Amino acid sequence: MSMSSTPAHLDFSAFDLMRPIMAADCLVYEGKQPASSFAMPSLLFVAGGYHGAWCYSHYLDFFEQHGVACMAVDLPGHGAQAGHLDIGMGIAQLGQALAACCRSLGRPLVLVGHSVGALPVLLAAMQTQPAGVALLAPSPPGNLPGARPLPAVPVDGFKPPPDATEVRRRFLGMECDAPVDTVMARLRPESPAVLNDRYKLRIAIDPARIACPGICFEAEFDDGERHPPGQDQAIARFLGFDYRLMPGQPHCMMYGPRWQDSAHALLDWFLDTYGSPGTATLPEYPSQRNAGTTTETETKHE
């Protein structure tokens, strides 16, 4: 498929011009906007299953343009590190790697996790106390009340990425034959241990150990099997985070046709929480949040 026929929201070619740095066992792709000399935190984007840092290509450009320092990370076995994927690598190991990466970067961070990437983000947040946490269409903690397990995948080999039809339906909320070649070319196999940790609800999170502001963004057109009605809002309530429904957004809201809407929503929360670039100071927050309090900017399920 020629580049001219690639939908703009599925063109990730700008990402290929970025050169990562190594931070602990992770590859970190940093935007051009330097980290503020003030207390303004940097955004650190963490991808979900089958994905790598490339899926945040549009977000990196967007937040740079708005003066917010931002980075995206390839965790071990993912993205450009897919060749080092270990069949036994689970979410706990990814959380440890992300926590080590955060310590190595040595700056205030807001951790942004998408889908199953939300779980290593929450594990790292319990260990490193970031400036904030934002979850995009997150997978549920294993100890979320009412969370439903899903069928396990076989453990005798890596799980290949979904086919084009499933990518359209699950990731982009489309039922047509729109081209998704650029996505398919970048998706990589996933460890069955990661998927089964999520599907069998093996990753418990202690909200009392996440002492920072947070928000959970729900995608209106998410996959109902993995994100049944009310689940994302329940995650926000369980963690004591704010909650916002994103109308018209598919599961992969960071590269869907209306990705700008989700980027603006994240930016609005970021500026409301930390102030404007160049003038901000980190908010003071209690050493322990009160789980169960949720600010519902928009409500999907009454």
Please report whether residue 281 resides in a domain.
no
pTM: 0.90
Q: For residue range 93-134, list pLDDT tens digits in order.
A: 999 999 999 999 999 999 999 999 999 999 999 999 999 999
For residue 283, what are the CA distances in angstroms to 33, 147, 226, 243?
Answer: 22, 32, 34, 19
Please report whether residue 79 resides in a domain.
yes
Q: How many CB atoms lie within 10 A of CB 72?
A: 28
Q: Residue 259 belongs to what domain range?
A: 3-274
| Residue 298: per-residue pLDDT | 41
Split into its structural domains, the chain has a count of 1
Please report whether residue 279 resides in a domain.
no
Q: To 10 degrees, what angle do helices 91-105 and 192-199 make?
A: 100
Phi, psi for 47 (deg, rounded to 5): -80, 165
Name, in order, each residue with C-beta under 8 angstroms of 68's C-beta and a sequence gap of 6 or more.
Answer: 33, 40, 42, 43, 267, 270, 277
Give me 206's structure tokens.
């202690």
| Residue 3: per-residue pLDDT | 47
| Residue 85: per-residue pLDDT | 86
Please report whether residue 292 resides in a domain.
no
Q: Are 102 and 124 in contact (CB under 8 A)?
A: yes
| Residue 31: per-residue pLDDT | 80
Please report whether residue 95 resides in a domain.
yes
């965790």: which residue's tokens?
A: 75
| Residue 175: per-residue pLDDT | 75
| Low-confidence residues in the chain, pLDDT < 70 | 1-4, 33-39, 278-302
Please report whether residue 284 resides in a domain.
no
Please report whether residue 282 resides in a domain.
no
Phi, psi for 71 (deg, rounded to 5): -145, 155
Please report whether residue 285 resides in a domain.
no
Q: Are 249 and 220 in contact (CB under 8 A)?
A: yes
Q: What is the CATH number of the domain that holds 219?
A: 3.40.50.1820
